[in-house]
Amino acid sequence: MKTAKLRIIAEVLRSLASRAYTLKYPRVASPAPQGFRGKLEYDIEKCTGCAACVQNCPAAALKSISNGDRRTIEVWYGKCIYCGRCEEVCPERAITLTTAYSLVTGRKEEIKSSVQLEINRCLRCGKPVATARQIDKVRLQVKDLVLPEDYDAYLSSLCFDCRKTVQAGLLLAGRI
Amino acid sequence: MLPLTANSLVHTLSNIAPLVEKLRSVLGDRFQKYSTRNERRAYVYIRKEGIRECVRVLFDQFGARLSTISAVDRNFKFDVLYHFTIDQDGLVASICVSTPKQTASLDSVTDIVPAANWIEREIQELLGIKFVGHPTPGKLLTSDDWPEDEYPLRRIG
Amino acid sequence: MSVEATLPIGPYHPALKEPEFFKLFLDGEKVVDVAIRLGYTHRGIEYLAERKTYNEIPFLVERICGICSNVHPMCFCQAVEEAWGLQVPDRARYIRTIIGELERIHSHLLWAGVAAHIIGYDTLFMHFWKHREPVCELFEVLTGNRQNYAMNCIGGVRRDIDPTKHKALILQTLSQIRPSLLRLEKAVTEDPVVRARIENVGVLSKDQARKLCVVGPVARASGLAIDVRKDEPYAAYKEVGVDVKVLTEGDVLSRMLVRLLEALESIEIVKRGLDAIPPGPIRLEPKEIVPGDGIGKVEAPRGEDIHYVRSNGTDIPERVKIRAPSYMNVPSIAPQIIGSSLADASLIIAAVDPCFCCTERIALVNVKTNRESSVDFESLAQSWRRKSKHS
């Protein structure tokens, strides 16, 4: 009986001798360790608006809204589960999960964040094609694969249907 | 060597063979076929009339433990799989029976394996398969005001 | 103990942790029957899983339970990997083992604290949870969160264990908690008051355990030597080995001892895993969705968790069936609690480690007077303390 009680008293004394485990947060900062899956942030310089993140979010916290000239990719932190799938699938590495965890708000609808990208329109018919960044990226990749004299800046800025029509016309006219 | 059906793998392992042999002899023409993916998983297809004897063989004679019962909605019928684990062999023998959707019913095995009580109740509640002879049928998971004839996991259409 | 007719405050209450409902039928102080009512946290996870793609489901099933949140994604991924015929890389198997065992340590310490709290021994509760903290902080560094680790994916794991930074931290944490665990275990087993009240309480015989197909520490404390890690080794358990702890008395003390011994064994398994972990990739991308059935089995801290997945070749599963271990263990409360006294009731309920641990609110029915009342666990704990004092 005594040994058991002495053991627990020894445990208590051991605890008293060591420093307190708790911190007086928020008066004292309590940063999360590196690698903590916290609030996600977009690097607007890198994002091309491909919406791979939107497709892969398990909680549907990411939304992509396109209206003619602009695409908005929006994250609602209230729905986010901080899993990191978006970070994993982004081809541009434009998303990082920071170590910020304090997302206190009075109104859940307010904790949203978004990036906006410009959408290019087809030079021939005016239909929206894709975001400017996506088109630039494709141009860059294609440019290395074709001969400089075959690369046509005009064709690469058309929508799919217009490009087919224009290329068919060029073919029939013997130009290509 | 057991005579094997077309879609089963060849196995000379001692743990599956005596079990299948015994079931075949007990069930007679209620035994349909069996297949295995690997040495740990055996799927035995039987007619639903033979489920009680099958469970008795597994639980009493082979000392298997009922892990769970899964039921799959196949639109016109239900596939119900009784997953029995034989711990010392690390084997899961799944007994597969079918019952048509319109008159979905199976014999309850709760008197042979008391652990089946809640498992059968859950399937009855969520998929609407009636277990004949269940000692305490009744709601388990859905709320009191959930309608009796609406089965949440059934596929519509 | 006087029974007063009061308005029962139902299973939903701001003060409750997890809702569940036990109705105890009493004759004086003796429990003569029990009715268990479930379903308060039924969220339709299987229904949701049949409408989500395979990549999304691990994050869904992770949230079935906060304490065993590594077990369900791992089990689901194993079922799918079996259905599709995927071979997980070796390093990923070891990482799954290490995370699984660390989770077992933290879960058993959590349970030990809750059990101590229920018997009124709050000092022990605080100490168990204090020594659990370093494990949670370790998880935060390794996986990015104290709970919901999001480590498992179909084909492997998502994060690596860095041999320079993480390995030393894991070993340091384990060497910190191991002596504390040993001390606390002795504080329980050498205390005659605690022993007298948990010994021979809630006995589940081997035959009853087999008939009810119980799993996990409840089964191992009743003499059934079953453990998925040994019987059907998954992840890297074949390589690292497990020493399964089995006791035969089947009472609350045995279950407590099995869990504490398992936590100590888990420490050894993690060390062996870290020594033997091979280099290599940690995940492979599935190339094809193969139609077929897959069964995943994992030994959760509470017992065998089994997932059954039927794939139909599309990226949404045909059927996902999940059976968590507590589903088999909770019905075993009935034979244990009948014949025991009221003061032992909440301890017996807690000792099966139900993943809905709510002995907060129990309804009592006095069979002689047929009057119903409800009592909260604080007063039950008080009655326990009074009983201990007079013994």
Mean pLDDT over each residue of chain A, to the nearest integer: 88
Q: How confident is the model at residue C39 (pLDDT cuts 50, 70, 90)?
A: confident
Q: Are residues C137 and C68 in the same domain?
A: yes
Q: Which tens digit of pLDDT belongs to each residue from C315-368?
A: 999 999 999 998 899 889 889 888 888 778 778 877 887 765 333 344 555 556
Q: Which tens digit of pLDDT belongs to each residue from C194-212?
A: 888 888 888 999 999 999 9
The CATH number of the domain holding residue C251 is 1.10.645.10
Contacts of A58 in chain C (CB under 8 A): 52, 55-56, 59-60
Asked whether residue C16 is assigned to any structural domain, the reply reads no
Q: Are residues C372 and C299 in the same domain?
A: no
Q: Which of C301, C324, C347 is the last residue of a domain?
A: C324
Average pLDDT, integer, range C24-42? 79
Let me know: does C303 contact C219? Beta carbons within 8 Å.
Answer: yes
pLDDT at residue C11 tops 80: no
Q: Are residues C306 and C240 in the same domain?
A: yes
The CA distances from residue C254 to A149, C4, C41, C217, C230, in Å, are 82, 35, 29, 9, 20
Q: In sequence order, which residues have a C-beta less than 8 Å from that of residue A174 and are 6 or more positions away?
A: none
Average pLDDT, integer, range C160-169? 92
Q: What is the pLDDT of residue C13?
A: 41
DSSP classification of residue B15: T
In chain C, the number of structural domains is 2
Q: Are residues C126 and C257 in the same domain?
A: yes
Q: Which residue has the higher pLDDT, C386 or A165?
A: A165
Q: What domain range is C374 assigned to?
A: 21-41+338-389
CATH 3.40.50.2300 fits B16-132, yes or no: no
Point out the residue among C211, C231, C328 whose CB comes nearest to the CB of B90. C231
Q: Are residues C202 and C317 in the same domain?
A: yes
One-letter-per-residue 3-state SS of chain C: CCCCCCCCCCCCCCCCCCCCEEEEEEECCEEEEEEEECCCCCCCHHHHHCCCCCCCHHHHHHHHCCCCCCHHHHHHHHHHHHHHCCCCCHHHHHHHHHHHHHHHHHHHHHHHHHHHHHCCCHHHHHHHHHHHHHHHHHHHHHHCCCCCCCCEECCEECCCCCCCCHHHHHHHHHHHHHHHHHHHHHHHHCCHHHHHHHCCCCCCCHHHHHHCCCCHHHHHHCCCCCCHHHHCCCCCHHHHCCCCCCCCCCCHHHHHHHHHHHHHHHHHHHHHHHHHCCCCCCECCCCCCCCEEEEEEEEECCEEEEEEEEECCCCCCCEEEEECCHHHHHHHHHHHHCCCEHHHHHHHHHHCCCCCCCCCEEEEEECCCCEEEEEEHHHHHHHHHHHHHCC
Nearest CA in chain C to A3: C190
Q: Are residues C358 and C292 in the same domain?
A: no
Q: Which tens digit of pLDDT belongs to each residue from B65-108?
A: 999 999 999 989 999 999 999 998 889 999 999 999 989 999 99
Asked whether residue C15 is assigned to any structural domain, the reply reads no
Q: B26 to chain C, minimum CA–CA distance in Å?
A: 22
pLDDT at residue B36 tops 90: no
Q: What is the ipTM of this complex?
A: 0.89
Q: What is the pLDDT of residue B10?
A: 38
Q: What is the pLDDT of residue C268?
A: 96
Q: What is the pLDDT of residue C355?
A: 65
Q: In sequence order, which residues have a C-beta less than 8 Å from that of residue A9 and are 6 or more positions away?
A: none
Q: Which of C270, C291, C324 is the last residue of a domain?
A: C324
Q: How confident is the model at residue C389 (pLDDT cuts 50, 70, 90)?
A: low
Q: Are residues C109 and C226 in the same domain?
A: yes
Q: Which residue has the higher pLDDT, C72 or A174?
A: C72
Q: What domains are defined for chain A? A: 32-172 (3.30.70)
Q: Are residues C165 and C295 in the same domain?
A: yes
Contact A56/C at CB under 8 A: yes
Q: What is the pLDDT of residue C343?
A: 76
Q: Are residues C254 and C352 in the same domain?
A: no
Q: How confident is the model at residue A115 (pLDDT cuts 50, 70, 90)?
A: very high
- H or E stretch at A109: none
The CA distances from residue C291 to A131, A145, B130, C308, in Å, are 38, 39, 29, 13
Q: Which of C295, C324, C353 is the last residue of a domain?
A: C324
DSSP classification of residue B29: G
Please give the interface size between A and C, counted as residue pairs whose CB atoms are below 8 Å apart: 67
Mean pLDDT over each residue of chain C, to the nearest integer: 85
Q: What is the pLDDT of residue C49?
A: 92
Average pLDDT, integer, range C128-148? 93
Q: Are residues C378 and C292 in the same domain?
A: no
**Is B in contact with A (3 or more beta carbon pairs below 8 Å)?**
no
The CA distances from residue C381 to C268, C377, C384, in Å, are 35, 6, 5
Average pLDDT, integer, range A65-75? 93
pLDDT at residue C274 tops 90: yes
pLDDT at residue A71 tops 60: yes
pLDDT at residue C227 tops 70: yes
pTM for the model = 0.90
Q: A34 to chain C, minimum CA–CA distance in Å?
A: 7
Contact A21/C at CB under 8 A: yes
Cβ–Cβ gap C158/A1 under 8 Å: no
pLDDT at residue B5 tops 50: no
Average pLDDT, integer, range A66-82? 93
Q: Mind giving me the DSSP string for B30-84?
A: GEEEEEEEETTEEEEEE-GGGHHHHHHIIIIIS--EEEEEEEEE-SSEEEEEEEE
Q: What is the pLDDT of residue C155?
A: 94
Q: A119 to chain C, minimum CA–CA distance in Å?
A: 30
Q: Show which of residues 110-139 on chain B sit within 8 Å of chain C, judged by CB atoms.
A: 113-115, 117-119, 139
Cβ–Cβ gap C308/B83 under 8 Å: yes
pLDDT at residue C158 tops 50: yes
Phi, psi of C167 (to 5 degrees): -60, -45
Asked whether residue C52 is assigned to any structural domain, the reply reads yes
Average pLDDT, integer, range C86-108? 95
